[in-house]
């Protein structure tokens, strides 16, 4: 009887379920886009960092409505003692210092007759970058001697284009001219190229051998002769152990007994030590997408609420229209629970059908957003989680039961004599 009544009023039933269809479709569609975005970016970041590697710099991680990401400050605070003591921590295979070079703001890096704007030039030791280092080098090789450089993927493409090439390999062997802020010049040959990062998020990075660059020196906060200091540390865990396994021990030393802590308390007491690992980036991406998903989920909830109000309104109209029918049913032996069940099943049918159509709409919407939407150029995989289907159907049934409860109770409570007299 419930199914027959739904079929009898096709247009009204269709319009009634529209709110449920749009609500569930919007939630599943945007969640599909979010999970596809998450999976695509995680896959894109695989291979950019060594899972056993960790970079440490002074800074903070921000996750707010206005600022999101890893914010670091290039303050030279790590001493050679910090490098040696960090290398002794449990599970650590090696530790390297890294120095951010102060290049000329207007002409810091030149390739032929072209100046590269805002290069981030890091000087380090062999082993920090390469097969067993923090950043693998899939094209070419790692730094082995003074006068060699490893550059990022976008910069390699730019250099290749200057030589009428189209492949990153065409940048290998190119000579780079560096000019420091003090006016000194150095040359280096490109021997390796880093893996491409999503949307150029790690652009204009250049790694060179520490020699012949000058090392910065600063007097310790407690006084004494100036000592060499560095802007960053690269710490490598034992192969296969993972950076997260060594992070607690390394941070314990840096936060309690290190020279870097003394420098940081004097120079920037509000900052801490930021760790940048493969797992940190993955976790940050998942956190950001989770926040986005929560926002979309709240919109979907509002759509479901509007849809449930529409269901309740339709059921109340149906009760009024079928008052005489209810009277006949009760007069011929139908019990109160029978009438209650009739209208609850009808409301649940409307919401269940709406939920199933919403799942289909959500899948199509997710496909459109990932393949033709804002992120179409990112070649995102389409990730659809089938566990959403029973959740969507369950949400539809629950919405139908809740929205149809009062109309069903009102129908079941009708006086049969008064209902039979109703015109």
The answer to whether 355 and 393 are in contact (CB under 8 A) is yes
Q: Enter the tokens of residue 311.
A: 């269901």
For the chain, which ranges sit under pLDDT 50? none
What is the per-residue pLDDT for 231? 92
The answer to whether 340 and 413 are in contact (CB under 8 A) is no
What is the per-residue pLDDT for 103? 82
Burial of 207 (0-12, 13-18, 19+ CB in 10 A): buried
What are the beta bridge partners of residue 206? 121, 151
pTM over 0.75: no
Residue with tokens 């396994």: 245
Burial of 337 (0-12, 13-18, 19+ CB in 10 A): exposed
Query: Residue 345 and residue 158: Cα distance in Å, rounded?
Result: 65
Neighbours of 27 (CB within 10 A): 26
Q: Do strands 148-151 and 114-116 pair parallel, antiparallel, or not at all (unpaired)?
A: unpaired
Which pLDDT tens digit goes with each residue over 316-367? 776 666 667 777 777 777 777 877 777 778 778 877 888 888 889 888 888 8
Long-range pairs for 310-314: beta carbons < 8 A, 24 or more residues apart:
310/15, 310/16, 310/18, 310/19, 311/16, 311/17, 311/19, 311/20, 311/347, 311/350, 311/351, 311/399, 311/400, 311/403, 311/404, 312/403, 312/404, 312/406, 312/407, 314/12, 314/13, 314/16, 314/350
Neighbours of 54 (CB within 10 A): 29
Neighbours of 334 (CB within 10 A): 17
Which pLDDT tens digit goes with each residue over 59-118? 887 666 555 667 788 889 999 999 999 999 989 999 999 998 888 877 778 887 788 777
């Amino acid at each position: 009887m419930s199914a027959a009544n739904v079929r009898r009023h096709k247009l009204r039933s269709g319009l009634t379920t529209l709110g449920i269809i749009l609500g569930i479709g919007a939630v599943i569609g945007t969640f599909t886009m979010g999970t596809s975005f998450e999976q695509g970016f995680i896959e894109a970041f695989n291979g950019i960092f060594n899972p056993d590697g960790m970079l440490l710099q002074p800074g903070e991680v921000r996750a707010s409505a206005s600022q999101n990401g890893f914010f670091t400050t290039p303050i030279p605070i790590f001493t050679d003692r910090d490098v040696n003591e960090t290398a002794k921590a449990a599970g650590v295979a090696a530790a390297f210092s890294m120095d951010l070079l102060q290049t000329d703001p207007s002409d810091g890096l030149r390739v032929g007759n072209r100046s590269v704007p805002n290069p981030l030039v890091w000087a380090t030791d062999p082993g920090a970058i390469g097969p067993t280092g923090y950043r693998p080098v899939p094209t070419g090789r790692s730094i082995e001697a003074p006068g060699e450089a490893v550059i990022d993927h976008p910069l390699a493409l730019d250099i290749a284009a200057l030589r009428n090439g189209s492949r990153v390999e065409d940048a290998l062997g190119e000579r780079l001219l560096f000019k420091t802020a003090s006016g000194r010049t150095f040359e280096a040959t490109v021997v390796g190229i880093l893996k491409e990062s999503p949307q150029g998020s790690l652009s204009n990075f250049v790694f060179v051998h520490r020699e012949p660059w000058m090392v910065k020196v600063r007097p310790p906060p407690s006084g004494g002769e100036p000592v060499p200091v560095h802007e960053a540390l690269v710490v490598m865990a034992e192969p296969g152990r993972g950076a997260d396994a060594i992070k607690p021990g390394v941070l314990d030393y840096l936060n309690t007994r290190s020279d870097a802590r003394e420098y940081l308390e004097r120079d920037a007491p509000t900052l801490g030590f930021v760790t940048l690992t493969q797992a940190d980036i993955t976790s940050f991406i998942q956190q950001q997408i989770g926040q986005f998903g929560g926002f979309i989920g709240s919109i979907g909830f509002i759509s479901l609420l509007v849809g449930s109000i529409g269901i309740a309104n339709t059921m109340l109209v149906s009760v009024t229209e079928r008052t005489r029918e209810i009277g006949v049913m009760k007069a011929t032996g139908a019990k109160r629970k029978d009438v209650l069940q009739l209208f609850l099943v009808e409301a649940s049918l409307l919401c269940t059908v709406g939920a199933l159509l919403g799942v289909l709409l959500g899948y199509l919407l997710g496909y459109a957003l990932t393949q033709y939407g804002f992120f179409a150029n990112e070649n995102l995989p389409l990730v659809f989680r089938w566990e959403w289907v029973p959740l969507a159907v369950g949400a539809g049934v629950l919405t139908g039961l809740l929205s149809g409860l009062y109309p069903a109770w009102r129908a079941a409570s009708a006086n049969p004599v008064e209902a039979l007299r109703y015109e």
